[in-house]
Amino acid sequence: MSLSPIREDICRLGRSLFDRGYTHGTSGNISVLLDDGRMIVTPTDSSLGELDPATLTLLGSDGSTMDGRAPTKELPLHSALYRTRGAARAIVHLHSTHSVAASMLPDLDPADVFPPLTAYYLMKVGRTALLPYFRPGDPRVADAIDALAGRYSSILLANHGPVVSGLSLTAAGAAIEELEQTAKLYLLVGHRQANLLDITEASALRCD
């Protein structure tokens, strides 16, 4: 099976996210898990806006580097989420501004960070867990993700950023964009009393 289309899809999504301000500098990383257990992931210290299909990292099913540059230092995030979300085939992690800002607020519910503001958040994301702050690349973040036991496709790392898994790269990309826009809405609404979707409607729409 040629991996070229997948490599090109990762680079196209990275550029699209970068060009629209969802990520900046060399922050953020993207991976796709192949059916045979190998993984294609963005390299360390690379801008999502300037990815090269030829230098993306190919990891074997044992985690060893088979091809390309050294993988992102945040690989433990990806490995842990794939390990606990069996059907996941793609993961996107960003340091997107509104999600990071929301992650710093006090009194968030770590089991369900955002209230039911819109139908599309519930349909594309469902529910978001909040994990405490870990230094980027700290392997203990994998233990925290393991403890979520695969219940969440969407996770917000405090003072760091969101990480979202999907059944496909397209789905993961769409979900993390929806999450970022939800965080923006959440910040815009602030502490005003917003009219939320009612519990029956929210339960009917949630994708998780």
Spot the catalytic one: 74, 177, 178, 180: 74
Is 152 tagged catalytic? no
Is 50 tagged catalytic? no
Spot the catalytic one: 50, 120, 133, 201: 120
Q: No. of H helices and E strands in the chain?
A: 7, 8
Contacts of 149 (CB under 8 A, 6+ apart): 84
| Active site positions, annotated | 74, 120
